[in-house]
Amino acid sequence: MQLAPFFPILYRILQPTFPHCLWAGNPNLKTIALTFDDGPHPTYTPELLEVLDYYAIPASFFWLGACVNRAPFTAKQVYDRGHWIGLHGYDHRSFPVLTTVELQQSLRATQDAIAKACRIDPNSVRDVRPPNGLFTPQILNSLNQWQYRAVMWSVVPEDWVRPGVATVVQRVLQQVSNGSMIVLHDGVCGGQDVAATTAQLVPQLLHQGYQFVTVDTLWQQAQAFTRRHS
């Protein structure tokens, strides 16, 4: 059974319950973030980069440390193009099954892999998206204590089960709104279609007047919106 129809409902329930995560940006601004999980992949990610290059739009990538170590050249290609980089854990194990020490080690190992591949300060990569979107209040507290920023999502078309490019595009277009954070995958599950999906999706969203920004920009816009309305 595909879960895509239930993700918008889940989002509406969880977002107010965990307000310190980034779920979306400013609902009054026509900006959206295109994000990609589970990479980098030595084949699928370069195919995706060609599409992003063609439209000259920024994206955000949440990487697995193991994949960075397997494809460091691809990781460097992504970083050199100015895309935003975040953490997705070292090997896609759900955070709740890890001990506190294991979670911290997983995040640090991923930071170190990114730092080595991209030649940057490991502490500059602070955004964390939990694999499968699973976390607990205790995990969020730990992330805050370690000075990470927890990033979630607002549009999840379930592309990793490969329902077809047209279906994924349709799901995104039905759900997208101001400030949306869209989740696609450029890893082993779903990455086969990610370039084709993005190539169809981006021009339609641009035609609707959306501006693509990074997750970091969504953070800034969301925080400014919250300050004005608190």
Write out the catalytic residue numbers: 37, 185
CA distance 27 to 150: 19
CA distance 149 to 147: 7
Residue 2 token pair? 């595909």
Q: Of 190, 177, 93, 105, which Cα lies nearest the Cα of 132? A: 93
CA distance 90 to 75: 14
Secondary structure letter of residue 129 according to DSSP: -
Secondary structure letter of residue 18 according to DSSP: S
Q: Of 30, 45, 18, which Cα lies nearest the Cα of 153? A: 18
For residue 9, count other CB atoms closer than 10 A to its CB: 9
Residue 91 token pair? 């090997």
